[in-house]
Amino acid sequence: MTRQRLFELIQSRASYLCVGLDTDAEKIPAFLRDQFPDPLWEFNRRIIDATRPYCVAYKPNLAFYEALGTAGWELLEKTVRYIGPDHFIIADAKRGDIGNTSRLYAKAFFEQLPCDAVTVAPYMGQDSVTPFLGFPGKWVILLALTSNPGSADFQFAQQPEGIPLYRKVARQAMQWAGPDELMFVVGATHPEDLRQLRQEAPDYFFLVPGVGAQGGDLNAISQAGLHAGGGLLVNASRSILYASSGPDFAEAAAAEAQALQLEMQQILEGKGGGEVAK
């Protein structure tokens, strides 16, 4: 998906919500396990149908699928094909390996599967990231500042340039790729850092996890990160997927997603609506 098309989706749905498909066999409603031969697929299908109007992106976290072995890979494939071309699909894989290997991961997500983007870890440097680039309409979303407590261990380590590591990562990566094929992960739990990174990277999309179960504040991160020159994709997973454990789980997920969408709409309008998506 091109940047222009992603902007258009955000405008037409008045939403920058990404639904994280962290599908966990232990958390899906019990009745699905009793009544369906493939309860995880049934869960994903209903969640997608229920939330489609309120979000612009879906983000399956690969761990939940790999934990199921071959069956999980089949579920992933079926799920991303079901989502279709009107949503931005992010394989949340946090990959990164030496050149020839990263290229294979890229092919797995961009050619074997119809994903638009893959999350990539920066530790191994340039030749672990660039093999994911150069696929037309496909994106690298590089981990800069993550939402978890462990982000403090290395990402905030002060560098000789007088900046923390995550900003050094972003600065270097912007030398490798432009805002048409590179985004950054910036956790919702760090709104002040998000604001600073926005100043350095005005044109880049940020994928922001950590709203919902992890406690990030949608309004704070939107004020810090959303502006005319660039965009946000804000992810919520558990708060939507597991809003209810009863037969009404899909309706409850839709209500959660819609509530976030309405909040986003207000924020977008407060910002001047269309202006956000330049």
> Which of 42-50, 141-149, 258-266, 267-275 is the region at the interface with a copy of itself (rule: CB under 8 A)?
141-149
3-class SS of residue 236: strand
Q: Give the integer Cα–Cα distance in Å for 181 and 126.
A: 15
DSSP state of 164: B
Q: Examine residue 154 and tell whether it contacts a copy of itself (CB under 8 A).
A: yes
Q: Examine residue 198 and tell whether it contacts a copy of itself (CB under 8 A).
A: no
Burial 94-120 (b: 16+ CB within 10 A, else e): bbbbeeeebeebbebbbeebebbbbbb
- Residues near 211 by beta carbon (within 8 Å), at least 6 away in sequence: 188, 217, 218, 221, 234, 235, 236, 239, 260
Q: Give the integer Cα–Cα distance in Å for 267 and 251.
A: 24
Host H or E run for residue 208: strand 205-208
Is the CB of 93 or the CB of 260 nearer to a copy of itself?
93
Binder among 5, 46, 107, 227 for a copy of itself (CB under 8 A): 107
Binder among 157, 203, 228, 272 for a copy of itself (CB under 8 A): 157
Site string for a copy of itself, 245-264 (x = CB under 8 A): --------------------
| Of 25, 15, 27, 16, nearest in space to 239 by CA | 27
Binder among 16, 41, 58, 64 for a copy of itself (CB under 8 A): 64
Find the binding residues for a copy of itself in span 119-138 (CB under 8 A): 121-129
Binder among 97, 217, 251, 263 for a copy of itself (CB under 8 A): 97
- Tell me if 210 sits within 8 A of 187, measured CB to CB: yes
Is the CB of 4 or the CB of 150 nearer to a copy of itself?
150
> Which of 1-9, 72-80, 200-208, 239-247 is the region at the interface with a copy of itself (rule: CB under 8 A)?
72-80
Is the CB of 10 or the CB of 19 nearer to a copy of itself?
19
State the distance between the two ends of the chain, measured CA to CA, in whole angstroms.
16
DSSP state of 143: E
94 catalytic per annotation: yes
> Which of 9-17, 38-46, 61-69, 221-229 is the region at the interface with a copy of itself (rule: CB under 8 A)?
61-69
Q: Give the integer Cα–Cα distance in Å for 108 and 138.
A: 12
Is the CB of 52 or the CB of 95 nearer to a copy of itself?
95
Q: Examine residue 51 and tell whether it contacts a copy of itself (CB under 8 A).
A: no
Q: Whose structure tokens read 């910036």?
A: 186
- Tell me if 129 sits within 8 A of 120, measured CB to CB: yes
Counting residues that bind a copy of itself (by CB under 8 A) gives 56
Decide the pairing of beta strands 232-236 and 17-20.
parallel
The one catalytic residue in 78, 94, 107, 271 is 94
Q: Which residues are catalytic?
A: 94
Applying CB under 8 A, the residues found at the interface with a copy of itself are 22, 24, 61, 63-64, 66-70, 72-74, 77, 94-99, 101-102, 104-105, 107-108, 112-113, 121-129, 143, 146-155, 157-160, 165, 168-169, 172
